[in-house]
């Protein structure tokens, strides 16, 4: 049964920020050049954890504004900020004006690949000309181990006709060069990128398919072409195949975490 946006926001704060988002923000922190003044936008600020860390590092002359993927995430974030009296502003995308911010940082880790260009256009729209733009996301070379087992799973449960969707999932994760091209097309100049490998490890196939990141965030987006019955059947078989082939060894999958920076031309 799919979870509500409120439940997903709670789970995002409880486990996904630590298990997933921090892998990317740690890479970002190594590359990010914090502004000394002006207006900074955090686009898709999750449940505010990284934004609050940045607020501690930022000068008082920097105004930090955060926007969110859902109103439920914003509710959690506003509550966090209120408790510690954080100097953070909260905005709504449809209320923000063009070129409102001197710099923008964006978490695009859950943006579907086919929406990436559209989101980059929106980010550029909100950033002043000459302003720095930073974002992070997974790129090609990510999730390969999962897609390989999903392919085998589909063959085993007679979903051969839908196995082409696995190839689509594999090929639509953009390469670094494709991301850089999308950024350039959106209006970025002087585009640079940095990539690191992150490994996710699970004790068993059953633990893997039961993890919040996988069952509530990755698979709903990846396997939306399956019926509920087919999805349950596929996940059960996937866990079995992983456990049979790994024989009490842990299961790992890797992600190419990529940080991109540029300037609005």
* Confidence (pLDDT) at 1: 60
* Confidence (pLDDT) at 182: 98
| Contact of 173 with 138, CB cutoff 8 Å | yes
Residues 6+ apart with CB under 8 A from 111: 44, 119, 137
With bands split at pLDDT 50, 70 and 90, how would you rate the model's confidence at 260?
very high
| Contact of 257 with 29, CB cutoff 8 Å | no
| Contact of 124 with 187, CB cutoff 8 Å | yes
Sheet architecture: strand order including 251-264: 89-90, 62-67, 38-43, 101-107, 127-139, 251-264, 188-202
What is the average pLDDT score of the chain?
96
Q: How far apart are CA 130 and CA 147, in angstroms?
A: 40
Q: How far apart are CA 235 and CA 247, in angstroms?
A: 18
Entry pTM: 0.96
Which pLDDT tens digit goes with each residue over 187-225?
999 999 999 999 999 999 999 999 999 999 999 999 999
**Site of tokens 């839908």:** 162
Residue 46 confidence (pLDDT) above 90: yes
Give me the percent of the chain exceeding a pLDDT of 70: 100
Residue 31 confidence (pLDDT) above 70: yes
Give me the percent of the chain exceeding a pLDDT of 90: 96
Q: What are the DSSP E strand ranges found in the chain?
A: 38-43, 62-67, 89-90, 101-107, 127-139, 188-202, 251-264
Which pLDDT tens digit goes with each residue over 99-125?
999 999 999 999 999 999 999 999 999
> Out of 3.40.50.150, 3.40.50.300, 1.10.286.10, 3.40.630.40, which CATH number does the structure's domain 5-264 have?
3.40.50.150
* Confidence (pLDDT) at 248: 78
Where are the domains positioned within the chain?
A: 5-264
């Amino acid at each position: 049964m799919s979870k509500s946006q409120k439940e997903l926001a709670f789970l995002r704060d409880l486990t996904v920020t630590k298990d997933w988002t921090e892998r990317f923000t740690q890479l970002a922190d190594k590359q990010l050049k914090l502004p000394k003044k002006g207006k900074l936008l955090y686009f898709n600020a999750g449940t505010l954890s990284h934004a609050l860390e940045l607020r501690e590092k930022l000068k008082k002359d920097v105004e930090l504004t955060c926007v969110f993927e859902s109103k439920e995430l914003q509710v959690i974030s506003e509550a966090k900020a209120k408790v510690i009296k954080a100097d953070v502003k909260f905005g709504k995308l449809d209320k923000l004006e063009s070129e409102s911010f001197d710099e923008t940082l964006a978490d695009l880790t859950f943006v579907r690949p086919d929406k990436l260009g559209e989101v980059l256009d929106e980010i550029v729209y909100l950033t002043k000309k000459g302003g720095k733009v930073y974002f992070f996301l997974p790129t090609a070379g990510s999730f390969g181990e999962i897609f390989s087992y999903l392919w085998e799973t589909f063959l085993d449960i007679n979903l051969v006709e839908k196995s082409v969707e696995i190839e689509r999932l594999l090929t639509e994760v953009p390469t670094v060069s494709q991301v850089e091209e999308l950024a350039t097309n959106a209006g970025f100049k002087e585009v640079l990128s940095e990539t690191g490998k992150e490994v996710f490890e699970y004790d068993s196939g059953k633990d893997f398919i039961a993890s919040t990141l996988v069952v509530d965030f990755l698979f709903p987006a990846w396997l939306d072409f399956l019926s509920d019955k087919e999805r349950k059947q596929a996940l059960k078989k996937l866990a079995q195949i992983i456990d049979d082939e790994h024989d009490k060894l842990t299961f790992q999958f890797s992600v190419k975490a990529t940080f991109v920076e540029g300037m609005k031309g």
